[in-house]
Every structure is written in C-alpha cells, then in structure tokens.
C-alpha cells in the first residue's frame, strides 16, 4: 500500500510535514481529534500500528484562489519586517491613539513583501492560531472563512469552512477575501499554487512567546486595530511576567527536567516556541540538543530522567503508552506521578492564549511557586 503526499493547510511543525514517497515507501498523517499535526514516513509494507490507528488519509492538494489586494512595491509605503513593524506598535498609550497609515508595506515570515492599500475588509484564515488572533482583535465580522480545524473562539465554528487536508478552492474563491492568513508551515505545494495565482497569502512563524506577542501587534497594524492589539499584547506581557516573577528565586540547579510528547515518540527541541515555553516555565527541555520537532528514542528519555512529563490529552491512550514503556517506570516523573496531560489546542497555538498555557505549564512544574 502506498499513501502519497498529503498537504496540510495548518501551522503544524515544519519538520513534520509529509514528504513524497520514495523507493516504494510512503508518507502518512497520524491524525487525532481533527488536528492532523503528525506525520510519519515508512518504507515497504504498512506497519500494524497504522492498521490500528486507521489509514483513511486524504490526498488532495490545496488549490486556493482568492482576490488579492495588491503588492506594488513602489507606492510610497515603508517596507518593514514583522518584528520591526510590531515593534513600532509597542509604544503603550501612544499606540492606542495611533491609526495605521496606508499604504502600509510589510514582509511576512517567508520574506514576501506586501502592500496594503487599506485595512482588509474580507479575511480568510487557514490556521487556528491566526484565527484566534483575528477574533481577539475584534475582526470576527470581517472573517469570511476559516479552516475546518478552527474551533476557538466559539464563533469560529460557525464561519464558512475553507477545508483542511483537502481544501475547498470553490469556497475560498466564493469568499473573495482581500488577504489569506496562514502559518509558514503551510505545505510548499499549496504555497506555490497560491503564488502562481498571485494570491495574497500572508504567513507567520513565531518561535517564541515574545514573537507571538509581536504578531498580535503586527496584525493590529495591518488591520488598523492597533488599540485592541496593544491591549492584548499588554495582557500577554503581564501574564508572562507573572510567571517569570514567581520563578525568580529558582537557582539553575533547582530547575526541573521536562519532557513533552505530543504524538507517540515525537517531541520538540530547540528553536520552537514550545521549547521557549518550557524554559520560561522554569524547566529544562531534555530534548534541547535536538532542533525542531523530532522523533526521540525511548532510551534517550530514560537517560534524561525527566522530573515532569507533559503529554497531549487529545491523543488516544498516550498517557497509557508513556507509562507502559519498558524501563520508563524508573523515570522520576513516573515514580512521582508527574505525568501531566495538557490541552494541546491551548499549548500548540502561539496566539493570544499562549501565555495562559505558559502559566498552566509553570504551575504544573512548580505548584508551590506558581499559584
């Protein structure tokens, strides 16, 4: 059995995107609860684990057509990268009274330059994270389409669906958006298709909590909602600082080792926002010698002897799998019953709620320090 490449219009970890089959092998999605985040590549016959999990996998490319709002570089706008543009909005009370001056020119995380002649009136979001940011900015009435994966806030569920693994080009064309927001991890084939059609696909890729805050401010500039963006950013900074202050008495040798698993055998290393979360929460990521989203051996986790193990609550039987692995009963976290399930939607989306995820993580690691 061969399962070909499956494009995913979602801001999942880039290193987990499926790849084209090679040498008779195949790439598959290991989905759970409408997320579609995790991928595996195999060679030869289908492993039994796939029969157990199911292999009803979709294989359609996202061919999206939307109305663009123009990207002329010579219209008098000032070119800024996302961090610079967001920084300009981080001026407290001054930002609250400032309106965006159009035309407004900015680069997204892919390096592509955009010029907005005015605030977008019709917006499509292909990422749950972007959708959360847009709703938080009060733009719900301008959102004309979201991905099938979007489930927060509640209002997002009633928005027209633009598809997920398959995509729904007809629906997106009919939505006639001025801009489409998505994560940088949107499948390359889908991105190429959008670029061929000269669509306004604006991609983001925050790697830290601070960059998640900067994205809120940047979206505020693009959409002329800077006052609300600054309020959100200020609340996020406050929630982050509360955690930092609560842990300021921790000495380096007191920091606990933390392991996080979001799909069987997969963890996160340095260079991803979840690694930043672990560090801010006072933990030491036992996979920090890895980069990005990677598979990790059971032996390496045993040797690292984490004090706390976090897992995604939505993955079926993941806690049971973790506790039942050979030799893992000797790990400190399991002996101390510090195997903790977290809301994977809250934890895996670097949007306005990410600092709440930070507080939850820190409280789980240091319940005596973080209240």
pLDDT digits (tens, 9 = 90+) for 249-270: 999 999 999 999 989 999 999 9
User: pLDDT tens digit string along 290-344?
Assistant: 999 999 999 999 999 999 999 999 999 999 999 999 999 999 999 999 999 999 8
Taking the alpha carbons of 358, 359, 361, 366 in that order, is the dihedral positive or negative?
A: positive
Q: State the Cα–Cα distance between residues 342 and 360, nearest whole angstrom.
A: 8
Of 151, 357, 128, the residue nearest 236 (C-alpha)? 357
Q: Kindly list the distances between the CA atom of residue 72 and the CA atoms of 60, 101, 124, 285, 367, in Å, as whole numbers in the listed order.
A: 32, 16, 21, 44, 53
Domain ranges of the chain: 82-238, 249-365
Q: Please report where in the chains the tokens 């610079």 appear, as a residue.
A: 84
Nearest partner of 82 among 185, 191, 207, 200, judged by Cα: 207
CATH code reported for the domain at 249-365: 3.40.50.1980
Q: pLDDT higher for 301 or 46? A: 301
**Domain covering 82-238: architecture:** 3-Layer(aba) Sandwich (3.40)
Q: Do domains 82-238 and 249-365 have the same CATH topology?
A: yes
Global confidence as pTM:
0.75
Q: Give the closest residue to 351 by CA, choosing from 156, 69, 121, 112.
A: 156
| Separation of alpha carbons 371 and 357, rounded Å | 14
Mean pLDDT across 65-79: 38
State the angle between helix axes of 209-222 and 82-89 in degrees (0 to 180), rounded to the nearest 10.
Answer: 80
Contacts of 298 (CB under 8 A, 6+ apart): 265, 325, 326, 327, 328
What residues contact residue 295 under an 8 Å CB cut-off, 6+ apart?
265, 266, 267
Contact in structure between 21 and 298 (CB atoms under 8 Å): no
């Amino acid at each position: 059995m061969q399962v070909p490449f499956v494009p995913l219009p979602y801001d999942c970890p880039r290193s987990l995107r499926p790849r084209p089959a090679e040498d008779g092998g195949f790439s598959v999605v290991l989905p759970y609860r409408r997320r579609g985040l995790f991928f595996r590549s195999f060679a030869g016959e289908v492993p039994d684990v796939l029969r157990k999990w199911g292999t009803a996998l979709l294989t359609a490319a996202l061919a999206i057509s939307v109305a663009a709002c123009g990207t002329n570089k010579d219209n008098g706008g000032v070119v800024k990268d996302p961090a610079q543009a967001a920084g300009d909005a981080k001026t407290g009370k001054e930002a609250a009274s400032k309106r965006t001056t159009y035309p407004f020119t900015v680069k997204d995380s892919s390096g592509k330059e955009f010029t907005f002649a005015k605030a977008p009136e019709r917006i499509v979001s292909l990422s749950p994270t972007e959708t959360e940011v847009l709703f938080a900015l009060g733009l719900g009435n301008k959102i004309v389409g979201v991905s099938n994966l979007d489930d927060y806030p509640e209002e997002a569920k009633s928005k027209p669906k633009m598809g997920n693994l398959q995509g729904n080009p007809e629906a997106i064309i009919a939505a006639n958006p001025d801009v489409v927001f998505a994560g940088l991890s949107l499948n390359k084939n889908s991105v190429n298709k959008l670029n061929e059609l000269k669509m306004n696909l604006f991609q983001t890729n925050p790697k830290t909590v601070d960059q998640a805050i900067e994205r809120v401010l940047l979206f505020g500039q693009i959409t002329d909602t800077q006052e609300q963006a600054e309020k959100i950013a200020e609340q996020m900074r406050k929630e982050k600082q509360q955690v930092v202050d609560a842990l300021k008495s921790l000495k380096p040798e007191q920091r606990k080792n933390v392991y996080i698993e979001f799909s069987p055998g997969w963890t996160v290393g340095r260079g991803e926002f979840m690694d930043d979360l672990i560090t801010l929460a006072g933990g030491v990521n036992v996979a920090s010698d890895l980069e990005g989203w990677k598979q990790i051996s059971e032996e390496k986790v045993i040797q690292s002897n984490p004090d706390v193990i976090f897992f995604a609550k939505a993955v079926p039987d993941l806690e049971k799998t973790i506790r039942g692995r050979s030799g893992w009963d000797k790990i400190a976290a399991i002996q101390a019953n510090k195997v903790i399930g977290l809301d994977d939607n809250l934890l895996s989306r670097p949007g306005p709620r990410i600092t709440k995820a930070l507080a939850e993580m820190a409280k789980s690691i240091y319940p005596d320090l973080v209240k």
